[in-house]
Structure 1
Amino acid sequence: MQPQFSGGTWRDGAAPFALRYLFATFLFLVALAARFMLVDVLPARGFPFLSFFPAVLLAAYVAGLGPGLFVAFLSTWAAWAFFMGPRLAPTAMAQSDLIALVFFASILVVDCLVIERMNLAMRKLRATGTRLRESEDALVARQAELSEANRQKDVFIAMLAHELRNPLAPIVSAAQLIALRAGADDGVARAAAIIRRQGLQLTRLVDDLLDASRIHSDKLTVQRAPADLRDVIASALETSAPLIDASAHAFDLVLPPEPIPVLVDSTRIAQCVSNLLHNAFKFTPTPGRISLHVSLQPGRTVSMRVSDTGRGISPAMLPRLFDMFTQEGRSGTDGNSGLGIGLALTRDLVQRHGGTLAAHSDGHGKGASFEIVLPLSEEIAAAPAPVPTPALAPDTDPASAAPASLPAILVVDDNEDAANLLQALLEMHGFTVDLAHTGAAALAALARRPYRMVLLDIGLPDMSGYDVASGARQQGLLRNDAYVVALTGWSDADSRQRSADAGIDRHLNKPVQMEELLDVLRHSR
């Protein structure tokens, strides 16, 4: 058996009892031989025990306490018998020699006990180290599992958002189609408005869920550019217009007359303002008053304050108001709805712009105010370039325009309900629309006829929309002025970049509003 000379591990069970004592005897004999070899060099008195100390220490360290004490006994006997003399007559020894011999034996015993305590401590240290390594390995494995679970969660949420947007698209389109055909039937028009409003609310929840996932995975990005904050406010008000128009609240808007230069992601800041307005209208009983007050502040900052006369916020809730998934009451009660993500998302977006978001309320029933403060920029957004001659003039009534003057559109979507409803809506506005439900069918349709615009779903059954767009451009199936729009449930930055790389001109998320789609049709080349 190969001994392990490591802090007593051999004597801990790696070698049998007899072998350990045989090893101790061997060490004693080596020490004794060394002492005899040095007898002419070292005087008998003064250095009689020098060679025995290493033997005792090594025996105690490697073989254990018992073998160490055994070598200590043999060493004491040998010192007396061969070097202290006279042999077998300890009473004849000088008192100083006897004291030296007892002192020598005591030191050897103490050394053995110290070595044993050291070995015990080392064994505990090794055991602790082993447990720590096992714990570290378990933590690393657990971290890998959690990372994979988090990745799968992000993939699942993205897939869920995509799958939810697919049925939402025909629902919202159907509501718009019903509203257009309702005529004088107010009941049908109200039902269509309800369907559309609730469909958009569900879309908002899906978007919030996606953004919450992006915040946790640090994938939420902002693309800052010079802008006039008044234009950003106008975009937020446009988004909130259905809510403002449908409410019975008084709404006040105060804006400075001069441009407000900021360096922001206009879409994201508009989303922040829209979130605050949405909450103000939701938590204010009718009739109430909501205001949006924008003002320049000292220190080259601008303040956007949304105030309401609604139910207010309790002092205990204020410190936790911006935590993710936090609501003062259970969802579905006391006006609470949604996922409790909006304010947390708004604060995160504002902070990414170097700004702050603060809330204030005097308590229940006393209203609330939320203030976004952003730094001003030195540069204002450049004036927009003149709009090129549009395919459909903005002031033209689509329903009254001659079909021949409007673009021919190809709608590519494997969801036949969504494609058919979008076709019906566009045809009601005077467009000529063809359908394709696969990538191959889309390429075949493009080969048969030139289209002014292609509305292209990304998730097709036979190939991706990216492949359709890049393949159509490579094969020369698109007119020089053809405009390709991705109409998809995929909304992440990677999907948008892949759209751009495939030669897709615009990336729109389902469900798309007809007003937004008509605006794209009007201003596309």
Structure 2
Amino acid sequence: MDKSPERQGNSTASTTAQPSFASCRRERTATPRGELLSLVAALTKPENRSAAAKALAAHASAEDLLIFVHDRELGILLPAPGFQQTLPEAKTWCGFLERCLENSFQEGELSFPTSGATKHVTGFAAEDGSVVVFLGGKPELDQGVDISLLLPILAAAFEGERIATVAEGTTTVAKQAATQAKLLAASLDRARIELRHTLGEARRANAAKDRFLAVLSHELRTPLNPVLMAASAMETDPNIPPEIRADISMIRRNVELEARLIDDLLDLTRIANSKVQLQRKIVDGHELLEEATAVVRGDPSAVQPAIVLELGATRHHIDGDPARIQQVFWNLIRNAVKFTPLDGRILIRTKNSETGAFRVEVIDTGIGIAPEALSKIFNAFEQGDTDINRAFGGLGLGLAISYALAELHGGTLRAESAGVGQGATFVFELPAVEHSAIALEPATPAPIESDCRRILLVEDHATTAALMARLLRKRGHQVDLAYNKTDAIALGLRDEFDIVISDLGLPDGTGFEVMEALRTKSRAVGIALTGYGMDADVAQTMRAGFQFHLTKPVDAQKLYQTIEQIPTAQFAQE
């Protein structure tokens, strides 16, 4: 016998099956929420079951409902406790319920329990063998499906109620405990199934979120690339006066910081899960703090309170990622500026703790922090309360990011405040290291001498392409430009190139396709230049045949150094 939910029922008792039920059920596999859950929960209370049943029926556009549960001992369907226990024309009802179990859904005309009059009835069967029958009205299919998905929970509740009643007079404590254990095991099994489903949905949603953030990061990074490349190239140009180079250095630092912020704001999950890779080296904490303060003070768009810098620490060298540490400093100072009135004062003070750690204190006379908000001030999207969010704006991510970065460096970050209107103090501590451990680096890198190479540059962002081509030609390289996949492959197969520098996102394809098309017929070394910088993206570029992966925005010196890393032998004529 065909037991598909789409099968039409026979003509007994004028019942019919509705073919669209199965597809509706497949589409509504998520757990119902909201008002429906409240109405179903009300059915578990024996004292008000009749009213609760009518309310749930009304929710589905019916007049009333009956619930039938499977009796394990008798092996048959029985009305649930608190519902009509005897039905007119019982044989007809039994036939209707059997077909409902067969088809999962059934409609027909049956005698109404309370009046004996014939009424339209609609039945929905659950996977555990329980059935809900709507009496009268025109029940909505989606509401009936949602309620049927919750039937196993109601059936378990009714079974527990029945067991409790029987146990009061006919069972022993041991038998009751055994039965309860079986019910619990069944509930756990259902919970495991639901959990597996929920975890699967969560993984898929998380993957979609990661991909969305990666694409968004790429789109935000791309316009920064020509700015950073131009600034980094001009910074080492000996023809530019020193005072202008200082301004250019400031531009470069701020673009790099903006790129870092894009990464953090769009990938807070990676930071919270400690997946950030720190580029550690020994640096002067005072220098980083002064640079961060200068960036905030130099913001031409902001009128600020007075900022006072007191550098009192005698041991102020630390082992860490300078860009990340500077980001923490910048976040803390910007936070103080944001919540301090113009006539207020911000004190940035350093000292060494009793254990010798390098301590930075950012003390403001601003709006302060309520005691109940202190415990959650470092949570993502928290700014104390909604009034603060409306008044000052922002996403509330800066402190959460800073807290995670402090922990990644083996340090601590805490907040202190006497209350609302009493100002706030943020204390950032990192282990200090000896000054002698510092490896001195040249202040300005010398231009790299470069042999002439023929380069195929594939970039759809016109401004970036023009600037990169100009900078590379200025260093003596021969550069051919392609703005899409088709032209890039045609050029690469027609001419001989030493290097292919390609963006990954192109109007008619990807840089992966370009490299895969050229790798078998060309000796060119591939450099991927892209706004996608996650570990999976790097691995994919390597598989496609690229030897290097540079994440936008890239400064010119980094690009030059990457080209120079490639052995000259790569370009020797055969």
TM category, shorter: 0.5 to 0.7
| Partner Cα separation in structure 2 for residue 386 and residue 240 of structure 1 | 19
| Partner Cα separation in structure 1 for residue 298 and residue 445 of structure 2 | 33
Instruction: Choose the corresponding residue for 2:550, options 493, 503, 507.
Output: 507
- Write out per-residue CA displacement over residues 178-225 of structure 1, whole angstroms, 9 at most, x where no aligned residue: xxxxxxxxxxxxxxxxxx999999867643332322245x25324363
Amino acid corresponding to residue 326 of structure 1 in structure 2: E
- Write out per-residue CA displacement over residues 299-325 of structure 1, whole angstroms, 9 at most, x where no aligned residue: 131102223344433444323211111
Which residue matches 2:268? 212
Amino acid corresponding to residue 201 of structure 2 in structure 1: E
Asked if the contact 2:315/2:432 (under 8 Å) is kept, the reply is no
| Partner Cα separation in structure 2 for residue 242 and residue 519 of structure 1 | 29
Which residue matches 1:307? 363
Q: How does 1:226-265 map to 2 (within 5 A)?
A: 226-230=281-285, 233=288, 237=292, 240=295, 243-244=298-299, 247-249=302-304, 250-255=306-311, 260-265=316-321
Q: Secondary structure at the match of 1:313?
A: coil
Asked if the contact 1:293/1:304 (under 8 Å) is kept, the reply is yes
Asked if the contact 1:466/1:498 (under 8 Å) is kept, the reply is no
Instruction: Choose the corresponding residue for 2:530, options 488, 491, 502.
Output: 488
Q: How does 1:387-398 map to 2 (within 5 A)?
A: 389-391=446-448
Amino acid corresponding to residue 459 of structure 1 in structure 2: G
Instruction: Choose the corresponding residue for 2:205, options 149, 169, 177.
Output: 149
| Partner Cα separation in structure 2 for residue 171 and residue 230 of structure 1 | 30
| Partner Cα separation in structure 1 for residue 189 and residue 388 of structure 2 | 45
Question: Structure 1 446/309 Cα, relative in aligned 2: closer, same or farther at 3 Å?
Answer: farther
Q: Secondary structure at the match of 1:293?
A: strand
* Alpha-carbon offset, residue 498 of structure 1: 5.9
Asked if the contact 1:173/1:425 (under 8 Å) is kept, the reply is no
Question: Structure 1 234/326 Cα, relative in aligned 2: closer, same or farther at 3 Å?
Answer: closer
Which residue matches 2:90? none
Asked if the contact 1:235/1:270 (under 8 Å) is kept, the reply is no
Asked if the contact 1:262/1:375 (under 8 Å) is kept, the reply is yes
Report how many aligned residue pairs link the two structures.
376
- Structure with greater Cα Rg: 1
Q: Secondary structure at the match of 1:369?
A: strand
Instruction: Choose the corresponding residue for 1:419, options 465, 469, 474.
Output: 465
Amino acid corresponding to residue 313 of structure 1 in structure 2: I
Per the normalisation by structure 1, the TM-score is: 0.55
* Alpha-carbon offset, residue 355 of structure 1: 1.4
Amino acid corresponding to residue 410 of structure 2 in structure 1: G
Q: Which moved more, 1:135-144 or 1:404-413?
A: 404-413
In the alignment, does 2:278 pair up with 1:223?
A: yes
Question: Structure 1 389/132 Cα, relative in aligned 2: closer, same or farther at 3 Å?
Answer: closer
In the alignment, does 2:509 pair up with 1:458?
A: no
- Write out per-residue CA displacement over residues 114-161 of structure 1, whole angstroms, 9 at most, x where no aligned residue: 998866664454344323322232223323322332333233322333
Question: Structure 1 315/424 Cα, relative in aligned 2: closer, same or farther at 3 Å?
Answer: farther
- Write out per-residue CA displacement over residues 56-93 of structure 1, whole angstroms, 9 at most, x where no aligned residue: xxxxxxxxxxxxxxxxxxxxxxxxxxxxxxxxxxxxxx
| Partner Cα separation in structure 2 for residue 270 and residue 409 of structure 1 | 36
Question: Structure 1 518/127 Cα, relative in aligned 2: closer, same or farther at 3 Å?
Answer: closer
Which residue matches 1:132? 188
Q: Secondary structure at the match of 2:551?
A: strand
Instruction: Choose the corresponding residue for 2:441, options 372, 384, 392.
Output: 384
Amino acid corresponding to residue 335 of structure 1 in structure 2: F
| Partner Cα separation in structure 1 for residue 350 and residue 542 of structure 2 | 36
| Partner Cα separation in structure 1 for residue 492 and residue 533 of structure 2 | 27
Question: Structure 1 310/262 Cα, relative in aligned 2: closer, same or farther at 3 Å?
Answer: same
Asked if the contact 1:284/1:309 (under 8 Å) is kept, the reply is yes
Which residue matches 2:524? 477
* Alpha-carbon offset, residue 435 of structure 1: 2.9
Q: Secondary structure at the match of 2:267?
A: helix
Asked if the contact 1:308/1:368 (under 8 Å) is kept, the reply is yes
* Alpha-carbon offset, residue 277 of structure 1: 2.2
Asked if the contact 1:226/1:377 (under 8 Å) is kept, the reply is no
Asked if the contact 1:436/1:445 (under 8 Å) is kept, the reply is no
| Partner Cα separation in structure 2 for residue 174 and residue 225 of structure 1 | 24
| Partner Cα separation in structure 2 for residue 219 and residue 375 of structure 1 | 19
Q: Secondary structure at the match of 1:317?
A: helix
Q: Structure 2, unaligned stretches of length 5 or more?
A: 1-70, 77-168, 232-251, 565-574
| Partner Cα separation in structure 2 for residue 118 and residue 257 of structure 1 | 71
Amino acid corresponding to residue 412 of structure 1 in structure 2: V
Amino acid corresponding to residue 532 of structure 2 in structure 1: W
Asked if the contact 2:279/2:320 (under 8 Å) is kept, the reply is yes
Asked if the contact 1:293/1:306 (under 8 Å) is kept, the reply is yes
* Alpha-carbon offset, residue 423 of structure 1: 6.1
Which residue matches 2:570? none
Question: Structure 1 321/332 Cα, relative in aligned 2: closer, same or farther at 3 Å?
Answer: closer
More strand by share: 2
- Write out per-residue CA displacement over residues 392-445 of structure 1, whole angstroms, 9 at most, x where no aligned residue: 8xxxxxxxxxxx999998643223465357668999999997532235645736
In the alignment, does 2:393 pair up with 1:336?
A: yes
Q: Secondary structure at the match of 1:273?
A: helix
| Partner Cα separation in structure 1 for residue 465 and residue 536 of structure 2 | 25
| Partner Cα separation in structure 1 for residue 257 and residue 387 of structure 2 | 19
Which residue matches 1:68? none
Instruction: Choose the corresponding residue for 1:281, options 326, 332, 337.
Output: 337
| Partner Cα separation in structure 2 for residue 383 and residue 224 of structure 1 | 16
* Alpha-carbon offset, residue 372 of structure 1: 0.5
| Partner Cα separation in structure 2 for residue 251 and residue 297 of structure 1 | 23
* Alpha-carbon offset, residue 344 of structure 1: 0.9
Question: Structure 1 441/477 Cα, relative in aligned 2: closer, same or farther at 3 Å?
Answer: farther
| Partner Cα separation in structure 1 for residue 215 and residue 176 of structure 2 | 57
Question: Structure 1 300/257 Cα, relative in aligned 2: closer, same or farther at 3 Å?
Answer: closer
Amino acid corresponding to residue 240 of structure 1 in structure 2: V
Asked if the contact 2:493/2:521 (under 8 Å) is kept, the reply is no
Q: Structure 1, unaligned stretches of length 5 or more?
A: 1-8, 15-112, 177-195, 393-403, 479-483
Asked if the contact 1:169/1:418 (under 8 Å) is kept, the reply is no
Per the normalisation by structure 2, the TM-score is: 0.51
Which residue matches 2:383? 327
| Partner Cα separation in structure 2 for residue 287 and residue 259 of structure 1 | 33
More helix by share: 1
Which residue matches 2:401? 345
Question: Structure 1 10/470 Cα, relative in aligned 2: closer, same or farther at 3 Å?
Answer: closer
Amino acid corresponding to residue 439 of structure 2 in structure 1: A
Which residue matches 1:77? none
